[in-house]
Structure 1
Amino acid sequence: MAVLAATTGGALSAPAAAEGETPVGQVEFPTHCLPPQEAGLPPADGPTTARITVDNAAPQVGDTVTVTYQVARTPAVNPVGAELPADALTPTGRVLLSGAQSGEVTVVGAARNDPVPAGAALPAVTMTGTFTVTAPGQTALAPGGYTLHTSHPLGLDTVCTPAAGEPSGVPVSARLTASDLPTANLRSVFLAAPSGKPGAEVKVTAAGFAPGAAVTVAGRSGAAETADRVTATADEHGVAVAELPVKDRATTAVVAYEGPAWTAKQGSGPAAYAVVDAAPAGAATATATAAATATQRVTATVEPGTLSMTQAGEDITLGAVPYGDGGAAPGRIGTVTVTDARGGPAGWSLIGKVTDFTGPGGVHIPGASLSWTPVCVAAPGSASACAAGSAGVVGPEGAVLASSPDGAVVGGTFTVDAAVTLQVPRYTPPGAYTAVLTLTLS
């Protein structure tokens, strides 16, 4: 577990289209705009040209996505009967979600406009908002109605809605495809003894299983199961206890799993076990010849180790971000060393989760604003390889920092590192913002 701190002192936009090209995702739909009653103007009907973009088109469930709604053209006109001064137009709107996730996102824009002559069309506006991804699959985003508020000389609202209604009257402008978060496998198995004679029973405790699940406890030789097998039922705490008779001399480890066969998702890692034969009867008896001989069996046992990790340092200090500008606060986690000395076929995974960042006055920066780019290197002589997790958002739901696959022979020492970046929103109040990053190895 590490503490991250960032110090402060926008929204991303898509690349502009080349001149003469239609920007990707730009759509047009008939719009009915009602000017404020105080203006004494008739309704304005005509096309709205709009575009929706997202800052992450392939998020994971739990990620926060920033949505940008741009209105490039509107039939609405200046309602004040005189020139509308600069920075007197504030837009708000709605983005419609459908597909894997439904609902709507409220978007708001800043009061930024050039002066608008009396009776002229109101200018282009840009609005942004965020939503949390709650379901895997493809979600479509379409522009909804929008309101153009003018603050001079009075507060007046021009309300524009799709003429054919929502959501059927507006075309889809953007899509995103969300994926489920990877889940850590916390199943484990413990043996009362690391070795025994052929046929001896070993007490096995399997933990981390679904309450009430049928748990198979079986012997393993490399990646294959041996003939040793019993079943038990997990209690309300997910713990199953069994006595496993180990008769197969090929057994070198014991695993536990749910379902018809062992898998990395529903099975435990292996616990090493050695079948130790007694010396054969008569092996040390001298022969009746003058030159008597004797033989003895020599047995050595390799004791299984554990899966463990250590981390350099406790705190992570991110770079400072100027107040008002926002942007990326970079840093690096403390280097993690993973040691796998279990001697079985199961791999491992290292998962990271981060809380929200809390600053002065209880102001928060969402944990989903922290992303990383992991690196993993196996030490020379390690029996298995190491894979770095995907670059992307860490967040409170967690992400894979590094992993090692299952194999006939696994184990070794692995060095894990990651560059981290916190995206600080614009105009975040100055001060130190602190979160907790927790790493879990299983």
Structure 2
Amino acid sequence: MRAGTRHRRWSAAVGVAVLAAGAAGALSAPAAADGETPPGQVEFPSRCLPPQEAGLPPADGTTTARITVGDPQPRVGDTVTVTYQVTSTPAVNPVGGELPADVLTPTGVIVLGGAQNGRVTVVGAKRNEPVGAGAALPGVTMTGTFTVTAPGGITLTPGGYTLHTSHLLDLDTTCEAATATAAPVAEGLTATALPTANLRGVSLGAASGKPGAKVKVTGAGFAPGAAVTLAGRAGAAETADRVAATADELGVVLAELAVTDRATTGVVAYEGAAWSAGLGSGPAAYTVIDAAPMPPGTQKVTAVVEPGALGMTQAGESVTLGAVPYGDGGAAPGRIGTVTVKDARGGPAGWSLIGKVTDFTGPGGARIPGASLSWTPSCTAAAGSPSACTPGSAGVVGPDGAVLASTADAALVGGTFAVDATVALRIPPYTAPGAYTAVLTLTLS
């Protein structure tokens, strides 16, 4: 399988024009019917410790929390946005008088379990209604992200949270579950493995021969030392032609295959007991020339379909995102140049197109993290294409990369595909004015 790489330069301007379109938000969880508990909402006994300066005793009670995820079915390598809402808390106003509006900043932790362990830090905006003396602190919403590192089911459990107030004094009220196991799992997601490239392939020393002729077969991309079967192929079925070989330390196979079955139209190679899309090569075309004389007045007509390559082209060399005003920040929108993927290999292996983006650099060395760029991919297969095209998940691109589009392995794949994506760069408020540039790399394999 041949892999291709394309680099595109991205630029975004700050302080040039007012942005009309906002950034796309995280996917919302399904709404709950009246009287039902919303998905991802749990309750657990908690203890909140007021700051020492307040002179207040610990507050015991129930925390009602809800966790939602932006993508419940991500792939390994995707960045998932998570939201932690505390709708009610035992914590009370830590100051002696009224707490003014917009002085409460929440931070918290979501605990990951199952296929991936870890802690996700979430942060909320400084936003609250006034709180009377001795009254309970209001509900808060915090968001954060994490990168999926393992396939399988991942659980999300609400962890501790801190309510910071900045009125008169900077005071922290910290809240934790009453016991280590008091907080139940609130949400879950199922991650799938990132598609891997099948680089196995074969080439032939001759494209045709008489029945019984031996053809030299060279295979590459196999596991070093693997037992490999070389076999004749007629469409999706194997013929009677077969020989065993062993891959060397570089994964190369060298063998001769006697082609006697007149039905053989190609040669494949594979590891294991039978051919599979993950461990097998695509067919190399071969024609059996039948030397038997034809009846008088007849002619034999033979046509050969030769396999091609996997490649891509992209419209344009650069992408300019929309501008945002200095001070306000916001989402700089845009769209990548359309990528056309052509798969003419005629084999069993699908492909994946993955994008990675560097940090955006601006005037005076100012930077915007590459993880601030998100996209929503789309992919369309041309009429007659054997394969269906699957767009990647909407979400962060970043330096770790994300899938733009892919096709699955199958007995016979191929086609022409148009791949697009709308993008948005999240620019923080009061980012220094000027143009910010990054490089997006697309890799096809």
Per the TM alignment, residue 116 of structure 1 is displaced from its structure 2 partner at its CA by 2.1
Per the TM alignment, residue 198 of structure 1 is displaced from its structure 2 partner at its CA by 2.8
Q: Are 2:249 and 1:236 equivalent residues in the alignment?
A: yes
Q: Which residue of 2 aligns with 1:134?
A: 149
Residue 404 and residue 367 in structure 1: after superposition, are their counterparts in 2 closer, same or farther (change >3 A)? Answer: farther
**Aligned equivalents of 2:34, 2:290: Cα separation in 1:** 82
Q: Which residue of 2 aligns with 1:202?
A: 215
Q: State the one-letter code of the partner of 2:26.
A: L
Structure 1 residues 342-394: Cα deviation after superposition (integer angstroms, max 9, x where no partner):
6x6x345332111124211343223983331111113xxx5x63312145248
Q: TM-score, normalised by structure 1?
A: 0.84
Q: Are 2:274 and 1:261 equivalent residues in the alignment?
A: yes
Contact kept, 8 Å, 1:194 with 1:303, in 2: the verdict is no
Residue 188 and residue 13 in structure 1: after superposition, are their counterparts in 2 closer, same or farther (change >3 A)? Answer: closer
Contact kept, 8 Å, 1:63 with 1:368, in 2: the verdict is no
SS of structure 2 residue aligned to 1:366: helix
Residue 303 and residue 136 in structure 1: after superposition, are their counterparts in 2 closer, same or farther (change >3 A)? Answer: closer
For residue 63 of structure 2, the aligned residue among 48, 64, 74 is: 48
Contact kept, 8 Å, 1:385 with 1:404, in 2: the verdict is no
Q: Which residue of 2 aligns with 1:214?
A: 227
**Aligned equivalents of 2:319, 2:404: Cα separation in 1:** 21
**Aligned equivalents of 2:243, 2:296: Cα separation in 1:** 40
**Aligned equivalents of 2:76, 2:341: Cα separation in 1:** 29
Q: Which residue of 2 aligns with 1:435?
A: 439
Contact kept, 8 Å, 2:213 with 2:260, in 1: the verdict is yes
Structure 1 residues 193-217: Cα deviation after superposition (integer angstroms, max 9, x where no partner):
1122333222111111111111111
**Aligned equivalents of 1:386, 1:96: Cα separation in 2:** 39
Structure 1 residues 237-296: Cα deviation after superposition (integer angstroms, max 9, x where no partner):
21111122223332221111111111111111101112224576xx9xxxxxxxxx9999
**Aligned equivalents of 1:377, 1:33: Cα separation in 2:** 59
**Aligned equivalents of 1:3, 1:98: Cα separation in 2:** 37
Q: State the one-letter code of the partner of 2:376.
A: S
SS of structure 2 residue aligned to 1:418: strand
Residue 8 and residue 94 in structure 1: after superposition, are their counterparts in 2 closer, same or farther (change >3 A)? Answer: farther
Q: Which residue of 2 aligns with 1:398?
A: 403
For residue 176 of structure 1, the aligned residue among 189, 195, 198 is: 189
Q: State the one-letter code of the partner of 1:313.
A: A
Residue 90 and residue 305 in structure 1: after superposition, are their counterparts in 2 closer, same or farther (change >3 A)? Answer: closer
Residue 211 and residue 329 in structure 1: after superposition, are their counterparts in 2 closer, same or farther (change >3 A)? Answer: farther
Q: Which residue of 2 aligns with 1:106?
A: 121
Per the TM alignment, residue 111 of structure 1 is displaced from its structure 2 partner at its CA by 1.6
Kindly report the root-mean-square deviation, in angstroms, between the aligned alpha carbons of the 2 structures: 3.1
**Aligned equivalents of 1:421, 1:436: Cα separation in 2:** 14
Contact kept, 8 Å, 2:277 with 2:349, in 1: the verdict is no
Q: Which residue of 1 aligns with 2:17?
A: none
SS of structure 1 residue aligned to 2:382: strand
Contact kept, 8 Å, 2:225 with 2:248, in 1: the verdict is yes
Per the TM alignment, residue 331 of structure 1 is displaced from its structure 2 partner at its CA by 1.6
Residue 426 and residue 125 in structure 1: after superposition, are their counterparts in 2 closer, same or farther (change >3 A)? Answer: farther
Of 298-307 and 176-185, deviating more is 298-307
SS of structure 2 residue aligned to 1:266: coil
Per the TM alignment, residue 303 of structure 1 is displaced from its structure 2 partner at its CA by 6.4
Structure 1 residues 272-325: Cα deviation after superposition (integer angstroms, max 9, x where no partner):
112224576xx9xxxxxxxxx999976756362423445253435264253545
Matches within 5 A, 1:149-188: 149-163=164-178, 165-166=179-180, 168-188=181-201
Q: Which residue of 2 aligns with 1:363?
A: 368
Q: Are 2:247 and 1:245 equivalent residues in the alignment?
A: no
Per the TM alignment, residue 398 of structure 1 is displaced from its structure 2 partner at its CA by 3.4
**Aligned equivalents of 1:328, 1:18: Cα separation in 2:** 36
SS of structure 1 residue aligned to 2:161: strand
**Aligned equivalents of 2:312, 2:161: Cα separation in 1:** 53
For residue 330 of structure 2, the aligned residue among 326, 332, 336 is: 326
Q: State the one-letter code of the partner of 1:435.
A: V
Structure 1 residues 391-442: Cα deviation after superposition (integer angstroms, max 9, x where no partner):
52485253543468435xx77xx4311230224335174633433342425x
Q: State the one-letter code of the partner of 1:12.
A: A
Q: State the one-letter code of the partner of 1:106.
A: T
Highest CA radius of gyration, 1 or 2?
1
Matches within 5 A, 1:331-410: 331-336=335-340, 338=342, 340=344, 346-360=347-361, 361-366=366-371, 369-378=374-383, 385-393=386-394, 395=397, 396=401, 398=403, 400-402=405-407, 405-407=410-412
Q: Which residue of 2 aligns with 1:12?
A: 26
**Aligned equivalents of 1:77, 1:93: Cα separation in 2:** 17
Of 180-189 and 363-372, deviating more is 363-372
For residue 203 of structure 2, the aligned residue among 176, 180, 190 is: 190
Residue 301 and residue 377 in structure 1: after superposition, are their counterparts in 2 closer, same or farther (change >3 A)? Answer: closer
Per the TM alignment, residue 326 of structure 1 is displaced from its structure 2 partner at its CA by 3.3
Q: Are 2:79 and 1:64 equivalent residues in the alignment?
A: yes
Per the TM alignment, residue 184 of structure 1 is displaced from its structure 2 partner at its CA by 2.5
Matches within 5 A, 1:256-295: 256-278=269-291
**Aligned equivalents of 2:153, 2:373: Cα separation in 1:** 20
Residue 18 and residue 325 in structure 1: after superposition, are their counterparts in 2 closer, same or farther (change >3 A)? Answer: farther
Structure 1 residues 110-163: Cα deviation after superposition (integer angstroms, max 9, x where no partner):
221222222222122111111111222222212111111222222221111111
Q: State the one-letter code of the partner of 1:302.
A: V
**Aligned equivalents of 2:425, 2:275: Cα separation in 1:** 44
Contact kept, 8 Å, 2:324 with 2:332, in 1: the verdict is no
SS of structure 2 residue aligned to 1:7: strand
Q: State the one-letter code of the partner of 1:170.
A: A
Q: Which has the higher contact order (CA 8 A, sep 6+)?
A: 2
**Aligned equivalents of 1:403, 1:79: Cα separation in 2:** 57
Per the TM alignment, residue 17 of structure 1 is displaced from its structure 2 partner at its CA by 5.8
Contact kept, 8 Å, 2:229 with 2:243, in 1: the verdict is yes
